[in-house]
Amino acid sequence: MVRVRFAPSPTGHLHIGGARTALFNWLFARHKGGVFVLRIEDTDRERSTEEYIEAIIKGMEWLKLDWDEGPFRQTDRFDIYKACVAKLLAEKKAYYCYCTPEELEERRQRALAEGRPPRYDGRCRDLKAPVPGRTPSVRFRMPDTGQTVVNDLIRGHISFENSQLDDFIIARSDGTPTYNFVVVVDDVDMKITHVIRGDDHINNTPKQVHIYNALGYEVPKFAHLPMILGHDKTRLSKRHGATSVMAYKEMGYLPDALVNYLARLGWSFGDQEVFTREELVKCFSLEHVGKSAAVFNPEKLLWLNGEYMRKATPGELSDMVMPLLIEKGIIAAGPEGPEGINRQWFEKAVASLVERSKTLLQLAEAMRFYLSETVEIDPAAKVKFLNLESLDYLVDIRDALARTAEFTHDNIEKAFREVVERHGQKLARVAQPVRVAVTGGTVSPGIFDVLEIVGRERTLKRLEKAIKLAGYGQ
């Protein structure tokens, strides 16, 4: 059975690159009917925090990347690592190193100055006795001749000259194990069959292959994903915009849209751009992952998010936008949800705005004029449309709307047509001052739909205010 893992270090929030790695592992496992394991690699005690562990898990949950086993934490597994270190020492496949950090740094600088690779010189390899007064680290004994060849499922054969690889530390002097060692022990213990990760780990691979061999374990299949670049073709970073997954949640992106976009960063299936999760699982394969770096395009993500918003039902969008409206104080939350909100009316308001919104945040802001008792009128729109020239239109519309039997789309349209015909004007000339009066701005859905949703009472109140602003009675 296929078994894959996502193994983030909790030294920061779940970012775009990590999320794509998690997604590709999740898709591969689901496509193959395998197991997806979540493992937290928290051996870096100085930088790993509980806050970041929680943030990573929340990011995974928001993206709906459910795991089958875990989350496992490396700090709970130190006894396993110690036993494996002891095994390698006993078999002379590892040795104690008594070099201090200061000595190692001095030699590194000397090697760089002399134009040599800054490799460990192996001086502790064949020590016969401990060095008094020093607590040693443990180094793995690497072969110094031949090649290490990795058959990468994405990049093909990759060769490494063993002479360029130095003996690396597998346990620090304080007893804590290092990444390249514990990752192998964990992957074996968790029966990982495929290691799918970013190509920044390629140089770690030969070290890990030799650890597998030394411990007598079968080497898994490796697949190294191309990195993600910003628009300027440099590695994606904060200067290119948000990189944290949860930042996109806060900006009003839908998790399905982000998953769809991340899947297309480095993977393709013909010319198809929009995929359901079911389609992604069905179509995904490592054979269609490219070798070249992928470029993150915020505009394309925004477009895709708009597509997903239009695909969602009014009920689904209502559930997603409601927390944002409460957070912004646009609506009040009671013990059982928003207070005083008719669900059917709310969904109708949401449906009227979705075509003009590309994010939930935009939708939430656009909802203000529906949900507020009064609106703040844009100063420029006020000067242009709420003036003596529009005064008669506003008064006549107010009166016509007040006379309508039922405040429905058709009756509102009929009232407008009467005023337009009376004044011999085009509909837009009458509708725009009303739009500014009722919504506060110059852009909105169709005016008849808007007024029906706003309702008769609030519409007439807003028109009264606009009439006064336009100079009525002065």
Preceding amide of 71 cis, omega within 30? yes
Q: Is 238 a catalytic residue?
A: yes
Q: What torsion, rounded to 10 degrees, do the Cα atoms 408, 412, 415, 417 define?
A: -130
Cα–Cα distance measured from residue 429 to residue 96, given in angstroms and rounded to the nearest whole number: 86
Instruction: Give DSSP secondary structure letters for 132-182.
Output: TT---EEEE----SSEEEEEETTTEEEEEEGGG----EEE-TTS-B-HHHH
Cα–Cα distance measured from residue 189 to residue 17, given in angstroms and rounded to the nearest whole number: 26
Question: Where would I find the beta strands (DSSP E) of 41-146?
Answer: 69-73, 94-97, 137-140
Q: Check 64, 238, 291, 468 and give the catalytic one.
A: 238
Q: Which amino acid would we find at residue 126?
A: D
- The residues carrying an active-site annotation are 238
